[in-house]
Amino acid sequence: MDLLLDAVCVVDTEGRFTFISAAGERIFGYLPEEMVGRPMIDFVFHEDRARTLQVVDEILDGHLLPYFENRYVRKDGQVVHIMWSARWSETDQVRVAVARDITERKRAESLQAALYAISDAAHAAEDLVALLQSIHRILGELLPAANFFVALYDKDKDELTFPYHVDECGEAPEPQKLDPTTRIAEVIRSGQVLLVPANCGQGLVGRNPSDTGRDSSNWLGVPLCAKRGVIGVLVVQSDCAETPYTNKDIELLQFAAGQITPVIERKQMEAWLQYIAQHDPLTGLPNRELFHDRLQTALRLAERNQTRLAVLYLDLDKFKEVNDTLGHHVGDLLLQEAARRLRQCVRSSDTIGRVGGDEFLVLLNGISLREQVLSIAEEIRISLDRPFLLAAHPVHISLSIGVALYPEHGDDHMQLIRHADEAMYDAKKSGGNHSRISTRPSLKK
């Protein structure tokens, strides 16, 4: 009997073990003498106890149950799946059962199901957050994943963002610069899996736990590897030191990362295509179409709320001379620097658009007084009147500005832009380097 790979167990009428064969130690982790005399139900995984006691009643009624499965908790805390063949001996007044450890088989089945589920979720994904929620749920059935997050890395900005972040100890971090001392940075830099067991001394005091891990936690980070390099890290973290992550957990997480990465790349490409369709590629400002859309939205809100707004049409004086004498490269630098200075002169609620070679539009929302508009226009003019140093070349330009106000000069977006444009040309014709308000009356529809 002791040579059998399966364990033979005998349980009395009070539900206590009276005998366990030698294989019991390999399956349950306890010596037979540590289990004999103790209630069988004490070793059953808590979620399976009610179902197990129900099956015991069936056995006591004389039913033979050759294929009953439940879970036990080993001495080391691991959960094992057991397949039982059991019957009641009326003569001896005991239950005799044979236990077979099917943990590996169950894990293989669960792993295969998880791989299919992750693959299906990735192919059906329309929303990145929904995909990560699904994968989090799938992984949570196979490994400790109460703390799970994805950190994406923007190499150009050297910045981390967290599109999905679940941590029992805190909220999702704000976008942040990549700290080279963190575990995430190590994974991104090396492109390799990083497994840090609990209490290894690698936790960094005073740092965000979701970025570096806590000393008491098991931390496993897997890189998200794209063609252009590592674009992020998939991380699971567990505060249960008794259940460290294994090589099988690494393989599962790597598979998940391989499914997630193409979806992230696709979403990033879609976002980029949408961005470039609405923005000027040189300055990053909204282009004509996006500016018109925002102006129309602002006009609807202004009409509803009985508020005012202003449109400024800007043209760089002497820009053609810069291009002709110093080259288009310097001209491009001038436009980029001009856009940067313009951003500093307006509020985040306002909109700046580049609508031509050296022409810009500015939408000022909620401006109630004409004097306020002229003050902002003057601030813009002075800002761009300051000398530029571009590719070691000192450059000086001036600015002509035309102003149209809502509702005085129009209640239609094209009408306002046209009147501001005409006022700008009047300013340019009279020498440039100043602002002029439109004199055209509103043409009601």
Q: Amino acid letter at 288?
A: R
| Annotated catalytic residue, options 6, 48, 317, 358 | 358
* H helical segments located in 148-243: 183-190, 209-212
- 358 labelled catalytic: yes
Residue 260: count other Cβ atoms within 10 Å of its Cβ. Answer: 24
Q: Residue 435 — φ and ψ, nearest 5°?
A: -105, 150
What residue has token string 């809502």?
406
Is 351 exposed, middle or buried (CB count within 10 Å of its CB: 0-12, 13-18, 19+)?
buried
Distance in angstroms (rounded) separating the CA atoms of residues 15 and 57: 11
Distance in angstroms (rounded) separating the CA atoms of residues 150 and 426: 55
| Contact call for residues 445 and 414 (beta carbons, < 8 A) | no
First to last CA, the chain: 98
* H helical segments located in 61-208: 103-124, 128-140, 183-190
Q: Residue 279 — φ and ψ, nearest 5°?
A: -130, 155
Sign of the alpha-carbon torsion through 205, 210, 211, 214: positive
Q: Is residue 394 reached through a cis peptide bond, with omega within 30 degrees of 0 on the bond before it? A: no
Give me the torsion for CA of 415, 417, 420, 424, rounded to 10°: -130
Residue 361: count other Cβ atoms within 10 Å of its Cβ. Answer: 26
Q: Residue 233 — φ and ψ, nearest 5°?
A: -140, 135
| Contact call for residues 432 and 320 (beta carbons, < 8 A) | no
Instruction: Give the residue numbers marked as catalytic.
Output: 358
